[in-house]
Structure 1
């Protein structure tokens, strides 16, 4: 019963914050009268507080540009967790653009939608990525191409870094920096999740979003950690597969360290 009450209150707060801040974000995107990132970060932080998430951060988003952040992917909550701390645009598969509500919210986040299986659109998409990189935006991709269970890293897909390669060629950029980022869900109600309970936070495969979200939010406070690694230089003519392996290895290392020694909830 308490969990259901918590869920209703949390969703009510999210709905209220979205109704208040979404118009401000739309105006910012159209007029540039104020920073879009300021509105987005506030929205994510308000929502995470309402949902009971505590975010702990180690390291910082690199100031090097152009920058692509390569992260593991655990849950639908990853975007708010990252967006509450970093000003980044996300790369997502095109199917997400058609999702009710979530697709609209993704557009407010300035997401770039990628149709991975349609070559005829790749040039347009790469051009958009190139423009964003040229404007000094940091772009984040979930390099596994899907969500994992939160305990381990799935192999990073080197094809996802192909957009950066095309962007470099189109925009005459000599080097794109790739920064590894590990997302670790570590505690629930202050207690370490452990290997068996960590999938509680994971949104895997064909699991329906609404039941998963309800089950997660009814549990109460969740701690999640963001660990930033050192950027890896990816230059024109460089080995895309090597950069992919190096980024994957660093995310794997940081995730293992975070799960082995999770921060206390009070920090």
Structure 2
């Protein structure tokens, strides 16, 4: 059903007009941010432009965010459920977070370029030899950004439940760097989650266009849970299990 709703050819003329206006706004924003990004990079100072770009993209896409729970304090590793491409600009807007992505994204030149601007850490899931290097990248990202987000499901769900968390995705975080908090955060799209979610046979571009075509805003609650503590942080497996348990409890409320 979601795939059927997603086909661009089913969009009305008005919907295509909204898509065109939003794409034009995003393209103009990107054109303005790129030279500023490289200017800040040459000056070797903290670069706010990737986060400003992503946060503004979420506004252009019509995302209305409500934040609940304790916001991250200090360097924090965020464990989030994954529903749609909107998750990334929305979380960046709220937290200024960088993200952990699988190394397959690095095979797409334009996408890799955009990801690296936002200090994305690419994880090679099946390359044990690269874990030490990935650990170092994670620590550097946290030192610079103070927030780093991973989606432990490893893919998107329909937003009404959670998929299993893959502890293997947390290999680069074991042992956990000293002074780093681990905090679950639920991305809750409410009763319209299934209409936002990117699942099934739907192409990523179709999901992107379908969301931009909406007349109504996308209402998203970013619900921060209490940071994990004690035995919950003993290993990547306990982190994955405890993080999922916290998000499942929040989603059921």
For normalisation by structure 2, the TM-score amounts to 0.85
**Match in the other structure for 1:233:** 229
**Match in the other structure for 1:214:** 209
Matched, 1:179 2:189: no
Matched, 1:45 2:55: yes
Change (3 A) 1:52 1:159: same
Matched, 1:8 2:20: yes
**Match in the other structure for 1:263:** none
Change (3 A) 1:116 1:30: farther
Q: Deviations over 1:12-36 (max 9, x none)?
A: 0000001101221233234234x32
Within 1, Cα distance between the matches of 2:68 and 2:210? Answer: 28
Which structure dedicates a bigger proportion of its chain to helix? 2
**Match in the other structure for 1:31:** 43
Report the alpha carbon displacement of residue 100 of structure 1 after superposing the two structures with TM. Answer: 5.0
Contiguous gaps of at least 5 residues in structure 2: 1-12
**Match in the other structure for 2:122:** 113
* 8 A Cα contact 2:131 2:171, kept in partner: no
Stretch of structure 1 that moved more, 177-186 or 228-237: 228-237
Displacement over 6 Å in runs of 4+: 234-237
Give the alignment partner of residue 220 of structure 2, picking from 209, 224, 237. Answer: 224
Q: CA RMSD in A?
A: 2.3
Q: Deviations over 1:126-181 (max 9, x none)?
A: 22113334557321110111111111011112222221114x4xxxx445421000
* 8 A Cα contact 1:147 1:204, kept in partner: yes
For normalisation by structure 1, the TM-score amounts to 0.81
Aligned pairs for 1:101-140 (under 5 A) are: 101-135=110-144, 137-140=146-149
**Match in the other structure for 1:89:** 98
**RCO higher in 1 or 2 (8 Å CA, sep ≥ 6)?**
2
* 8 A Cα contact 2:132 2:172, kept in partner: no
Within 2, Cα distance between the matches of 1:236 and 1:30? Answer: 41
Report the alpha carbon displacement of residue 235 of structure 1 after superposing the two structures with TM. Answer: 7.8
Matched, 1:57 2:56: no
Contiguous gaps of at least 5 residues in structure 1: 187-191, 258-267
Change (3 A) 1:90 1:205: farther
Within 1, Cα distance between the matches of 2:125 and 2:42? Answer: 28
**Match in the other structure for 1:77:** 86
Length, aligned pairs only: 240
Report the alpha carbon displacement of residue 45 of structure 1 after superposing the two structures with TM. Answer: 3.0
* 8 A Cα contact 1:174 1:236, kept in partner: no
- Per the alignment, in what secondary structure is the counterpart of residue 232 of structure 1? coil
Within 1, Cα distance between the matches of 2:204 and 2:116? Answer: 19
